[in-house]
Amino acid sequence: MLNRSGYFNRILRQIFVFSFITTSFLSHSTGIPIGLIPYQSFFKGKVIRVLDGDTIEVLQDKKPVRVRLANIDAPEKKQAFGRWSANQLKALLVAQPVMVTYTQTDRYGRIIGRVFTTNGTEASRFMVQSGAAWVYERYNTDKSLPALQREAQEQKRGLWADPNPVPPWEWRHKSQ
């Protein structure tokens, strides 16, 4: 049985191999030089703060790095289920070592990333499964998330217990 560090390192190796194969395939099939294909970066750190249900701060090399969870949109703090959603993410991540994989930043300078715990749990999947966030359809790249959201809806988990939950993007638009 692998210890946490061994499991974490195995996941990293798998990500590297997958990234290499994907990049090589894209380069070969498109004719684009490897250096011009967006690549996936990663870092390890410890979660020091949960700002809301889809944004965290990770301490990496003694510096806080703000990370927006990829593929999801959680209720805003002042919105129904907003604090509950943030508390779900806190319970999963605060003071935990994590690995963040990412390819881009947003207009606020936050890394948009997939966050993994040492036991392999991905934070975005956890939030959708528990009914603490919506799949952000406009930006979603994980084809498995919509099915997890449907399951959470059917089971009335979290925000889906509300008969008419308001997606955060609609709530933000109405609040402006």
C-alpha torsion angle, residues 143, 125, 137, 22 (rounded to 10): -40
Helix, coil or strand: residue 158: helix
Q: Of 158, 99, 102, whose CA–CA distance to 126 is shortest?
A: 158
Inter-CA distances, 73 with 54, 55, 112, 118, Å: 6, 10, 12, 23
Q: Which of 57, 68, 122, 125 is catalytic?
A: 68
Question: Residue 137 contacts by C-beta under 8 Å, 6 or more apart in sequence?
Answer: 146
Using the 8-state DSSP alphabet, how is residue 96 labeled? -
Determine whether 110 is an active site residue. Answer: yes
Q: Are 80 and 86 in contact (CB under 8 A)?
A: no
Considering only CA atoms, which of 100, 105, 103 is closest in space to residue 117? Answer: 100
Task: Given the residues 76, 114, 122, 125, select the one marked as catalytic.
Answer: 76
Give every CB contact of residue 141 below 8 A, 6+ residues apart in sequence: 70, 71
Q: Is 76 a catalytic residue?
A: yes
Q: Is 150 tagged catalytic?
A: no
Please pick, among 4, 57, 110, 137, the residue that the annotation labels catalytic: 110
Residues with a known catalytic role:
68, 76, 110
